[in-house]
Amino acid sequence: MEALLLGAGLLLGAYVLVYYNLVKAPPCGGIGNLRGRTAVVTGANSGIGKMTALELARRGARVVLACRSRERGEAAAFDLRQESGNNEVIFMALDLASLASVRAFATAFLSSEPRLDILIHNAGISSCGRTREAFNLLLRVNHIGPFLLTHLLLPRLKACAPSRVVVVASAAHRRGRLDFKRLDRPVVGWRQELRAYADSKLANVLFARELATQLEGTGVTCYAAHPGPVNSELFLRHVPGWLRPLLLPLAWLVLRAPRGGAQTPLYCALQEGLEPLSGRYFANCHVEEVPPAARDDQAAHRLWEASKRLAGLGPMEDAEPDEDPQPEDSGAPSSLSSPNPKQPTVSESYPNPQSSPDLSKMTRRIQAKVEPKTQLC
C-alpha cells in the first residue's frame, strides 16, 4: 500500500511539474482599453480564435470574425456579444481555401470599415480530410490565403499605424522543409499531410520574418505566435470516432484549453514595446529562437515571391492605387491614441475586388501616400 501511495504521489508530482511548466499558459497583459480600435480574427468561430476574439471584445475592440461557415460564424458572434457585453462583434464570410473569397472579403471589409488595427491569422487546418484539390490545400489555407489577405488589407493597416499582424504558427515548423519545386502539389495520404502541415507552419514563420523586412518604417509590425499544445477542434477534427473516447481524457490532462492557447497571440497583438521584435517567433509570451531554416532570409524572400505567384498577384497589382476603397463612414481619427468609437454598418454585398498594392512596392511609397490615407484613421 505504501508503495502504491508513493507511486501515486510521484505521478501526481510529475503531472503538476508538467502542467505548470509546459501546459499552463501565462496570462496575457498588454493594452487594457481597445475601444475604438478594430481587429480581424480569422477562424474565430471556435477554439483559440474564439477565445482570442472574446478577449479583444472584452477590452472594447470592434471585432470582425472572419469565418468560412456563416451559420457557425453568426452563432459565435452572438455568443461573444452576450459574453463580452460588447455589441461590436460581427461576422464576415471568409474561406481561405478560395482566393476569390479572400478578395471578396477584403473588398467588403475595406468598403465598410474605416479602421484596421489588429489582424490575427488564426484559421488553419492540419489535414485535408476527404477534400481533394488540384493544389496543396494545407499551404493554401495556412499560408497563401493569409498572405493574400494581408496584402489586400495592408493599405488600411498602414493608414491606422501603429498596427499589428499576428500569424498563429506552431512548433511543427521545426520539422518543415520547403521544396520550392513542389510547393503547391496536391497532398495525398497522412504522411504527406504531416509533412505539408509542418511545411505550412515553417512558411508562417518565414512570412512573418519577411513581412517585417518589407514593412520596416511603416508602423506596421508582425509576429509569429505559437499557441502551445491546445485541446481544440484542430487536434480532434480528423481523429477516428472510435479513438476519441480514449484521447479526450488524455487531451484534457496534458493539453491547454483554447483560452490558454490564445494567450501568446494576444500577447503579440497587445503587449506594448514589442515593435523592435517585429518578425520574431513567440511562444509562452516570450521570444523564442528558431532553427536555421526558419531564419533563412534568402528562403523567406524566395517564399515571398512564390507566394505572390500562387496568390495570383499579377503585374497590374504591383502599382499602388491612388486611394483605397472608401468606407461609408470615415470619420475616425488619425491615431490610435484618440480613436472614434463610432463605426459603420457592415456591407452585406461583396463587389468585385479592386486592384491592390504589392507589399514590396508600397514600402517605397509610404511617405508619398500617407496624407490621403490618414483620413481613414
User: What positions carry a catalytic annotation?
Assistant: 197
Phi–psi pair at 351, nearest 5 degrees: -70, 170
Give the whole-angstrom CA distance, residue 165 versus residue 211: 9
C-alpha cell recorded at residue 280: 520574431
Give the whole-angstrom CA distance, residue 195 versus residue 197: 5
Residue listed under C-alpha cell 481561405: 96
C-alpha cell recorded at residue 283: 511562444
Angle among Cα 70, 73, 76 to the nearest 5 degrees reads: 150
Residue 98's contacts (CB-CB under 8 Å, 6 or more residues apart) are none
Strand ranges in the chain using DSSP code E only, listed in sequence order: 38-42, 62-67, 89-93, 118-121, 163-168, 220-226, 281-283, 286-287
SS3 for 155?
helix
User: Within a 13 Å sphere around the CA of 36, how many CA atoms are in the beta-carbon half?
Assistant: 17
User: DSSP assignment, residue 213?
Assistant: H
